[in-house]
Homo-oligomer: A and B are copies of this chain.
Amino acid sequence: MSTAFSELVSKITEAQTLGSIGSLLSWDQETYMPAAAAGFRASQTSLIAAMAHERRTSARIGELLAACESDKALLADAAVAADVREMRRDYDLATKLPTDLVARLAKITSEAQEVWKEARAKSDFEHFRPTLQKVIDLTREKALCIGSPTGEPYDALLDEYEPGMTAARVEAIFTPLRARLSALVAQVCSSKHQLDASVLKKKVPVDQQQAFGLEVLKAMGFDLHAGRLDVTTHPFCSGMAPGDTRLTTRYTSESILEPLYGTMHEGGHGLYEQGLPKSDRYGRPSAEAVSLGMHESQSRLWENFVGRSRAFWTWALPTAKRCCPPHFDAVTLDQVYAAANVVQRSFIRVEADEATYNLHIMLRFGLERAIMNGDLALKDLPGEWNKQFKSLLGVDVPDDRRGCLQDVHWSFGLIGYFPTYTLGNLYAAQFWEAAQRAMPDMLSKMERGDLSGLLNWLRSNIHAHGRRYRAEELCQRVTGQPLSADPLMRHLEGKLKPLYKI
């Protein structure tokens, strides 16, 4: 190791340690912090964030990076070269934006969140439009500062969440997915044979759900010695530090379905965080997650591919019977498998099922890209939303609250973020197929509650690499195929057609 590289790692480690403390402040705020502490918590959080930013953007890091980049002996080690490449990326991203622009964006997005809440409550997009326009304008300014090789401003934004991805590439993958999925959903929804979710939508006491959820997390391989599960209003996963990955979920006594899949979803994120080589390589990008899409692939894999499979329920149903007496006593495997796979057209993305969810995402991707490119004016957004929604899902959006005002993302300036959700599903499907090819007995072991095959496969194929490869490159290496819509469609068609007797 060169001295420059060692100093670089040590400087970045300090910035990340501060970041990890910021994560604890946030986690505590969502879980146990007394309400009266909120005001001072903002001071604590902004102090830590400012200190971390100062360290991430210091001129010394620029010097050290330049030294590493011209050190051929150092870069001969491919793992180190990848670290240096990703450190350069982070440094450029952190230093490219003028402080003034960051401050203006922070101010307007903070205002925008309040205005969005009011607008959504009134279901009145016009109330939100002038503020959203300011967010869009500043976000475009941000995109221009960052720049993109393609020249399309949207790509600069997308690249922040999904390094190396472009809108054109997303569109090339989404186009066949959109058509095939829309057709499948239409078939499913018009089938005479409809599925019944009631066996998972029944009242189960929260302590029983908790016990069942923990059994599932343990079976997934989530290490509770190096993590926790708590309750918050909005579930999340924070891989805050080496040995410290905290999940949250929420329970309702009305249904076990959403809490269970919420726990499995965050558990999937948590397994990725626990699988990253943080204890060996903290401070190096090779100990970090590749992208939002790759992170989402891990959560969706466990939530949808494992959690809604017949193999999983072969083990999970007897477990539920044991943890939640007497609520599952009379439930059969056929019933619970069907209940886990109900497909229904609905207006709200976060309530959508595994299949229709991606149609919601593709709608948003197309619209935000058009807005960013100047091809769609905000005044036309509600009309365009509703028109495309009808064409994708076949139903009329009744109002803006259930239409273009439902998501908080744009008020935060999060543009280019939505596609990572569906990219996650696509990666997950591709990994699911590859893991089964590699382990023909994976599903039969899963039926007995042995989920370790999949986790070990993910550990060595995905988690161990950190950011060494970009997401699509990793997918190609691991599955032998470029990312495509095929595996996801095979998965959905293979499951839904028999269930819906199509």
Query: Which of B14, B33, B243 contacts A36, CB < 8 Å?
Result: B243
Q: Is A331 an interface residue (CB 8 A)?
A: no
Cα(A11)–Cα(B228), bound, Å: 36
**Chain A contact residue count (CB 8 A cutoff):** 38
Q: Which B residues are in CB contact (< 8 Å) with A24?
A: 24-25, 28, 44
Instruction: Say whether A39 contacts B225, CB under 8 Å.
Output: no
Q: Is A83 an interface residue (CB 8 A)?
A: no
Instruction: Say whether B34 contacts A225, CB under 8 Å.
Output: yes
User: How near does chain B come to A117, taking the closest CB pair, in angstroms?
Assistant: 24
A37-B243, A243-B37 known; A43-B25 Cβ under 8 A: no
Which of A18, A34, A242, A282 is packed against the most chain B CB atoms within 10 Å?
Answer: A34
Instruction: Say whether B34 contacts A242, CB under 8 Å.
Output: no
Which residue on chain B has the smallest CB distance to residue A241?
B40
Instruction: Say whether A44 contacts B28, CB under 8 Å.
Output: no
Which residue on chain B has the smallest CB distance to residue A224?
B34
Q: Is A47 an interface residue (CB 8 A)?
A: yes
* Stoichiometry, copies per complex: 2
Q: Which B residues are in CB contact (< 8 Å) with A33?
A: 244
A20-B44, A28-B28 known; A227-B34 Cβ under 8 A: yes
A24-B28, A25-B21, A28-B24 known; A223-B43 Cβ under 8 A: no
Q: Is A17 an interface residue (CB 8 A)?
A: yes
Instruction: Say whether B20 contacts A243, CB under 8 Å.
Output: no
Which A residues are closer than 8 A to B by beta carbons?
14, 17-18, 20-21, 24-25, 28, 32-41, 43-44, 47-48, 51, 223-228, 230, 241-246, 279, 282
A-B pairs with lowest CB-CB distance, top 7: A36-B243, A36-B226, A37-B244, A37-B243, A40-B242, A40-B241, A36-B225
Please name 9 pairs of A and B residues whose Cβ atoms are closer than 8 Å in the assembled complex, sorted by A. A17-B44, A24-B44, A32-B228, A33-B244, A34-B226, A38-B243, A39-B243, A40-B242, A40-B282
